[in-house]
Chains A and B, each alone.
Chain A
Amino acid sequence: MATDVRSKEQLPQGVGRFSAGWKVFIALAFVVFAFGVFAYTRELSNGMVETGMRDVGTMGGATWGIYIAMVVYFIGVSFAGITVAALIRILRLEKLRSIARMAELLTVVSLILGALAIIVDLGQPVRGVINLFRYARPQSPFFGTFSLVIAGYLFASLVYLYLGGRRDAAVMAKYPGRLQWFHRWWAAGYEDTEEERERHHKSSFWMALAIVPLLIIAHSTLGFVFGLQVGRPGWYGTLQAPAFVALAGVSGIGHIVILSAIIRRVLRAEARITEAVFAWLGKILLLFLAVYVYFMSVELFTLLYATPEVEKRLSDALISGEYAWIYWGSVAVLVIPMAVLAWQALNRRWNVGLLVASGVLVNLGAIGKRYLIVVPSQTHGTLLPYEVGSYSPSWVEYGVVAGLFALGALLIGLFIKAFPVLPIDEGEEVMSRA
């Protein structure tokens, strides 16, 4: 067995070696995930009466709650991962190559979470998985969210992650060990010859080019889910689709910053994930934030200057009423990081700690804004004289959402132990062989 242990030690980036810290992390994530599953079983057996959602209208509730807010949020997060990965490929940003796989991984994981968040929101989940494809109607904006995003976008991202990882899989497959079968399977005969590398490079490049328009469409349709509804004040509008794309960029880049910083720390990869990487991420985050804050300001000024009567009740609730604390809280956690990032950009000095803090804050802001898109238009946006409704999520909903986050952590945690999360560079390969 001695040779087995030594060969495992040779695998780069801690793949296949389970440290105590990692085990604790996985155990915690698993416990939270298991709790989420338990919460969902309550919903499955007793019906969605276990959630805080109720019918709009006479029942005075909101029929979409934090589940849909999280669908929008998770799919938004996926946006940035694949954008960054594709940009690195298309613009040949060699310096940033180290975070490409991480970004792809983030996209795949958050898309899976987004899909699951849709499933848990369905009254008939099993039927949903079948009928959404069997009777798919492209005329419904929901088609873009589910059928297109899951079937098209998730598949494309998986293929992209797979293609990008094949060379490293071929390298890893040379080492004996428990995971060798997995790396062999991933490499699928790839041997890293000159010709293969060229062909691979080409296919990945075209794949990247194809993914960018696909993802703009997918995220716009997510905005259309709300933006095309005339009958709901606060939803109908042209700005919905582009604002969704912009906020998706904000939350996703924020996540990449957080993930890069964690992996940099854990793998002691300061030399691979350099300050320059964070500087670039900081600038992109600042750009997306600026665009989104601009959209947000335009929307606010429009509401303050002249509000159509039917929108008045809603905008009052948002700006000075029941939802004001979420509204202004989200504005604060979006604007403050923007100022901090701008200040760092002007000084040309980037602090990783501040960047991570900004990443966390903008994600809280993104969740808040998603919630405000989904819920208030239902409780305060009825056009007939229904009384104002109310919605507060139940423990089941909080449990399921926490479980989804934990599942994401679990998937990422397992992945980094099964596959090198940073692309293996030539030096590392030689070193670990030696």
Chain B
Amino acid sequence: MTKYAMVVDLDRCQGCRACTEACKIENNTTQGAFWMHVFRFEEGKFPDTKVSFLPRPCQHCDNAPCVKVCPTGARFKREDGIVLTDSDRCIGCRYCELACPYGVNYFNWQKPSEAYYSEVIDWEDADIQGITGGAIPPYKNPDLGLRYGDEQRRTAGGGQAKGVVEKCTFCVHRVEDGKLPACVDTCPVQALRFGDVEDPTSPISEFLREKNPWTLLEEAGTEPLVKYVGGKPPASHAKEIERPEVRV
């Protein structure tokens, strides 16, 4: 059996948010949706303050609260550990968003085609149309419309439909193709690693054996498949700085 997991090395992360950008382009996520978000946060009292970074993808929990509360089974967990949303079945009740303690779910508040930064980019502009050829978003990932896994459900990528919830898929369309998730592939300092943790000889298993991994919000009992090494969890008084100012 395969079980995919991600390891975030906080000793390496420099908070550049390249992963955030890669994710947005790869998955065509709409404005304000950050499937991979990197917290830049501050702890302590002046003058003893410290700025830290914490990448936050979906934690793909083994005991996922979002899967438990979904009234229709649109949110489900695959055998290989990936937690996905069936955008054809989701009814948009947003209960998963509230059950999740990590805040990784994003709802399509409007028609996706109207939710691609139209406030800052005039897609109708002739110069821009010359580059994009009229496509919104300009690069539309063709793999996202396909069906994946044993279930053959439409689960990959963002901007699927108005009124459904979407979130990080561990780039299921890339993983099934034998590639790494976009964020892992992009990270310039290898702070993100991805692989099969059921295979004891895989690089990620060896890496985890060497280190002392921890998980986010362990007390919530969610058993995440995203492990962190180095650093420490943010204190409850931590304050976010430089957060993305977006509210659709």
Task: List the interface of chain A (C-beta within 8 A of B).
Answer: 46-49, 53-61, 63-64, 118, 121-125, 127-128, 131-132, 134-137, 139-143, 146-147, 225, 229-232, 309-310, 378, 382-387
Contact = CB atoms under 8 A, between A and B. Distances in A.
Contacts of B188: none
A132 B91 contact: yes
B13 to A, nearest CB: 15
B163 A48 contact: yes
Contacts of B69: 140-142, 229
Contacts of A385: 39, 41, 54, 234, 238-240
Nearest to A390: B247
B180 interface: no
Contacts of A384: 39, 54, 56, 101-103, 216-217, 234
Contacts of A387: 239-240, 243
A58 B107 CA distance: 12
Contact of A58 (B91, B95, B110, B244): B244
Nearest to A144: B71
Interface residues of B, number: 58
B97 A122 contact: no
A379 to B, nearest CB: 12
Nearest to B94: A63
Q: Which of A124, A134, A230, A378 has the most CB of B within 10 A?
A: A124
Contact of A121 (B37, B93, B106, B247): B93
Given A122-B92, A142-B93, A59 B32 contact: yes
Q: Which of B68, B92, B103 has the most CB of A within 10 A?
A: B103
Nearest to A129: B91
Given A122-B163, A142-B71, A47 B111 contact: yes
B220 interface: yes
B212 interface: no
B163 A229 contact: no
Contact of B72 (A132, A141, A230): A132
B94 A136 contact: no
Contact of A55 (B71, B101, B107, B220): B107
Contacts of B107: 48, 55, 63, 123
B234 to A, nearest CB: 5
B90 interface: yes
A43 to B, nearest CB: 10
Contacts of A123: 90-94, 107-108, 162-165
A54 B248 contact: yes
Contact of B98 (A131, A134, A139, A229): A229
Interface string B70-110: 11111000000000000001111111011111111111111
Contact of A47 (B98, B110, B239, B243): B110
A66 to B, nearest CB: 14
Contacts of B93: 118, 121-123, 128, 142
B103 A47 contact: no
B152 interface: no
Contacts of A140: 68-71, 95
B68 A378 contact: no
A242 B164 CA distance: 32
Contacts of B239: 385, 387
Contacts of A146: 71
Contacts of B201: none
Given A47-B162, A123-B108, 19 more contacts: A46-B110, A48-B110, A48-B163, A53-B109, A56-B98, A57-B104, A58-B34, A59-B106, A122-B91, A123-B94, A124-B91, A131-B91, A135-B71, A136-B72, A137-B73, A231-B65, A383-B102, A384-B216, A385-B39
